[in-house]
Chain A
Amino acid sequence: GESVGLHLPTLSVQEGDNSIINCAYSNSASDYFIWYKQESGKGPQFIIDIRSNMDKRQGQRVTVLLNKTVKHLSLQIAATQPGDSAVYFCAEAGGSQGNLIFGKGTKLSVKP
C-alpha cells in the first residue's frame, strides 16, 4: 500500500553536531517529497523539498537526499542548534490523487 514511515522515532544530538533524520517510503511512483518541521504548539513548517528527478538538494544548513533504488529519504541538518529541536515529518506526493502522505515524525532533541 501507500505509506511513509520513519526508522527512528526520537533522535538526540549535541549542539553543533550534524543530524540525520531518515524516512522510508513505499510508493515507487511518488515523484515529490517534502520535509516539514513542527515545533510544539505550532503547525508544520516547510523546510525543503525534492523531486524524483534529483537525488540531492541543499538549502541553508539542510540537505535532502533521495535514494529511489531503496526508496529512502533523509534530511541532514548541519551544525544542529537548539532551535532545531522539533518533530520532523517527511511526506510524499504518492496518493491516488497525488496528495501528500505524511510519515509519523521523528522528534529531534538538541542538547546544549
Chain B
Amino acid sequence: DAGVIQSPRHEVTEMGQEVTLRCKPISGHDYLFWYRQTMMRGLELLIYFNNNVPIDDSGMPEDRFSAKMPNASFSTLKIQPSEPRDSAVYFCASSLNRGRKPGANVLTFGAGSRLTVL
C-alpha cells in the first residue's frame, strides 16, 4: 500500500478563493481524520469519519470549512472563502478500528498539504 495520499502538497492562493484538499486513505481503513498543524496551536483535530460518516466535526473552525467522504477511498476538505489565518499544514490520517475508541488505534498520516493564503 502506498500509504495515505494527499494532494496538493503545496497550495498558494489568495484570500477569498476556494481551496480543496484531497485525501486517499489506506485501503481497508475505516476511520479517516483531518488535522491542521500550525506553530502556535500544534496538531488540531478538525473532523473524523467512520465508515464514510462524519462522527465529530467539533474541531472545524467555522462554517467556511467543510469536509466530505463520498466513498471509502476519498475525502475532501474545503475552505470557502479562504483567509490568511487558514495558512497551515493540513494532514489526513486513517486507521483501522480494532474494537477500541477511535483514538486508541495507530493513525497513519499522509505527507500533508501546506496551504498559504495571501
Residues on A lying within 8 angstroms of B by beta carbon are: 31-32, 34, 36, 41-46, 49, 51, 89, 91-95, 97-105
Contact = CB atoms under 8 A, between A and B. Distances in A.
Interface of B: 4, 33, 42-43, 45, 48, 55-56, 91, 93, 100-104, 106-112
23 contacts: A32-B100, A42-B112, A43-B93, A43-B109, A43-B110, A43-B111, A43-B112, A44-B91, A45-B109, A46-B106, A46-B107, A49-B106, A95-B103, A97-B55, A97-B56, A97-B102, A98-B102, A98-B103, A99-B48, A99-B56, A102-B42, A102-B43, A105-B42
A7 to B, nearest CB: 15
Contacts of A91: 103
A66 B4 CA distance: 30
Nearest to A105: B42
A89 B43 CA distance: 9
B91 to A, nearest CB: 5
Given A32-B104, A100-B107, A44 B43 contact: yes
A36 B43 CA distance: 12
Contacts of A89: 42-43
B104 A31 contact: yes
Contacts of B45: 95, 99-101
